[in-house]
Amino acid sequence: MSEQRIFGFNAVRESLRASGRTNRLYIAKETKVRGRGELIELARAAGVPVEWVPLAKVNDLAGSKEHQGVVATISPVDYTSLDDCLAKCPSQATLLVLDQVQHPKNLGLIIRTALAAGACGLLVPVRGGALLNDAVLRASTGALLHLPVVRCNNVSQTLRRLREEGFWIYGLAGEGGENLFHVQWPDRIVLVAGNESEGLRPGVRKACDVLARIPLANEVESLNVSIASAIALFQIQAWRKGMA
């Protein structure tokens, strides 16, 4: 189930058109690539990042020189659209948004926790975060295969769309904000967790309805994003079961 690599114009074009699993497109910058403009347009339409790299890098990624100057990496899981994800959400639902979480182990642990805590879906940005590859799948111990994953071209815009769909947006913040354990959680929740070192980006923070913090003792400044997400997700679950 590891991340796969495909190469050659026809294979890459078909993947961009149909698979919904393409993670990234690599184009050799020193080579005249057949249909380059079409591939770039398809990638942009599908929200797939494009990287211009040396020919040697493309040779290495493809494991062959018969690549026609293009290679694409494909996720071991299918992505779903936001519309499809929302259509499957019950009236009481939690969605988790990760704003550029970088480390595959963190991402995998968060995915496993989200599934265990009853989250209905995971939203990740197209750019800036860890790819859903074999390392993430292993860290999630297979949970990645069972949690719907949506890719966002713009996290802030996606949060505004979710608000229009009746969700309240809660950003996990290391400082300020409302005590997480005092929140009266609504039926439809979006929980947003930020990058390991920087937290939520300013635009994403601004798009949240509420910032929630986990109160810490003994001068501890912050928690790992996977731990903070787990605490928040299970606090939401406990609230819904009348245990909080």
- Could you tell me which CATH class the domain 82-240 is placed in? alpha beta
Instruction: Summarize the confidence of residues 112-124 as an average pLDDT.
Output: 95
Domain ranges of the chain: 4-74, 82-240
pLDDT in tens, 200-209: 999 999 999 9
> Beta strands 22-28 and 50-53: pairing type?
parallel
CATH superfamily ID and name for 4-74: Ribosomal protein L30/S12 (3.30.1330.30)
Per-residue pLDDT band at 102 (split at 50, 70, 90): confident
Instruction: Give per-residue pLDDT as tens, 11-32.
Output: 888 788 876 778 899 999 987 8
Query: What does the pLDDT read at residue 242?
Result: 84
Q: What is the mean pLDDT of the chain?
A: 88
Q: pTM for this structure? A: 0.75
**How far, in Å, CA of 51 to CA of 53, rounded?**
6
In degrees and rounded to multiples of 5, residue 242 shows phi and psi of: 75, 20
Q: What are 197-234's pLDDT values in tens digits?
A: 888 999 999 999 999 999 988 777 778 899 999 999 99
